[in-house]
C-alpha cells in the first residue's frame, strides 16, 4: 500500500507549457505539502494545506497554484513553465505535529 | 526562525566502519528533530525523530541519534555501515510557527561507502 503517491514520476515538457502534478495520501493525515528539490538536493517548502486550507505559501511565483479538492489530495499546477522550474517536486503529508511522510517525487524537466 | 546546519557535504567510509553524520540546529526552545535518508531516485524516508524524553533515539536500519541540548546537536550514528547505506542524509528541525509546525531541512550529507 502506497502511503503518499504522486503522478507522474517523470515529466518532460517545453518552456511555456502548463502542467499538473497530482498527489494523494491514504494515511488519513490532515496536512499536505509540496516541496521543491533543486539540482543540489536542497529541499525547500513551497506550500502547505491543512484540511484543504492553505497555511503556508513560501515565496513561490504565482505561476504555481496548489489545489486541494479534499484532505487526501493536493495537486500542483504550474503555468508558463520556465527552465528554472526543472527540479524534483515532492509531495508529503503529516498528522498534526508529526513527521513528514514523503511521496516518491516527480522529476520535472523543462526544455 | 529555526535553522539547521550539516557541516559535511560528502563523507566516505569503508563498509563495516562506524559512521557519524553531524547536525547542528538553531532554535530558542526545544525543537523537533528528524533524520531522513534519500536513496538515488527515491523519496525521503524517515530514519528517526526526537520530540522529547530520552535523548538517545533509535531508528530504522540500525541508526541512532543523540540530542545534545548543550551543543545544539543531533548527530546520526551507525556502528557498522553497509554498502546499501550509501545515500543522501538530511537532518531537519521542526518548530511551532503561527500554530503550525514548520520543518526546515539541512542541505544534506552524501554518504559514499567503499568496499
Q: Are B107 and A41 an interchain contact pair (Cβ–Cβ within 8 Å)?
A: yes
Q: How far is A44 from chain B (nearest CA, A)?
A: 8
Rounded to 10 degrees, the C-alpha dihedral A53/A54/A55/A57 comes to 180
pLDDT in tens, A42-96: 999 999 988 888 887 787 899 999 999 998 999 999 999 999 999 999 999 998 7
Distance CA(A75)–CA(A66), nearest Å, equals: 6
Q: Cβ of A103 and B49 within 8 Å?
A: no
Among B104, B87, B8, B37, which residue's Cα sits nearest to residue A35?
B104
Chain B residues with CB under 8 Å of A44 CB are 105
Cross-chain CB nearest to A104 (options B32, B43, B108): B43
Q: How confident is the model at residue B4 (pLDDT cuts 50, 70, 90)?
A: very high
Task: Return the pLDDT at B101.
Answer: 78
With CB atoms and an 8 Å threshold, state whether B42 touches A104.
Answer: yes
Instruction: Give the pLDDT confidence of A12-52 residue by residue, as tens digits.
Output: 999 999 999 999 999 999 999 999 999 888 999 999 988 88
Grouping H, G, I as helix, E, B as strand and the rest as coil, residue A98 is coil
Other Cβ atoms less than 10 A from the Cβ of A85: the count is 19
Nearest-Cα distance to chain B for A29, in Å, is 14
Q: What does the pLDDT read at residue A85?
A: 96
| d(C-alpha B105, C-alpha A87), whole Å | 17
Is there a contact between A102 and B43 if contact means CB atoms under 8 Å apart? yes
Looking at residue B41, its pLDDT comes to: 86
Position B85 scores a pLDDT of 97
pLDDT above 90 for B81: yes
Contact A101/B34, CB-based, under 8 Å?
Answer: no
- Closest Cα to residue A3, out of A33, A30, A24? A24
Q: How confident is the model at residue A97 (pLDDT cuts 50, 70, 90)?
A: low
For B87, which residue in chain A has the nearest alpha carbon? A41
Average pLDDT over chain B, rounded to an integer: 93
Amino acid at each position: 500500500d502506497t502511503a503518499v503517491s504522486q503522478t507522474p514520476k517523470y515529466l518532460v515538457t517545453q518552456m511555456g507549457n502548463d502542467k499538473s502534478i497530482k498527489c494523494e495520501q491514504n494515511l488519513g493525515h490532515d496536512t499536505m505539502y509540496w516541496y521543491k528539490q533543486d539540482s543540489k538536493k536542497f529541499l525547500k517548502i513551497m506550500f502547505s494545506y491543512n484540511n484543504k486550507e492553505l497555511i503556508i505559501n513560501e515565496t513561490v511565483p504565482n505561476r504555481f497554484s496548489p489545489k486541494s479538492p479534499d484532505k487526501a489530495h493536493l495537486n500542483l499546477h504550474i503555468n508558463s513553465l520556465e527552465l528554472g522550474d526543472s527540479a524534483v517536486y515532492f509531495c508529503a503529508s503529516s498528522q498534526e505535529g508529526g513527521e513528514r511522510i514523503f511521496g516518491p517525487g516527480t522529476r520535472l524537466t523543462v526544455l | 526562525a529555526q535553522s539547521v546546519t550539516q557541516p559535511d557535504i560528502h563523507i566516505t567510509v569503508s563498509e563495516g566502519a562506524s559512521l557519524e553524520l553531524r547536525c547542528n540546529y538553531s532554535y530558542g526552545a526545544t525543537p523537533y528533530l528528524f533524520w531522513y535518508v534519500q536513496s538515488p531516485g527515491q523519496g525521503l524516508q524517515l530514519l528517526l525523530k526526537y520530540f522529547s524524553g530520552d535523548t538517545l533515539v533509535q531508528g530504522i536500519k540500525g541508526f541512532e541519534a543523540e540530542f545534545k541540548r548543550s551543543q545544539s546537536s543531533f548527530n546520526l550514528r551507525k556502528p557498522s555501515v553497509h554498502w546499501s547505506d550509501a545515500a543522501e542524509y538530511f537532518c531537519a528541525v521542526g518548530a511551532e510557527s503561527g500554530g503550525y509546525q514548520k520543518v526546515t531541512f539541512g542541505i544534506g550529507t552524501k554518504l559514499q561507502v567503499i568496499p
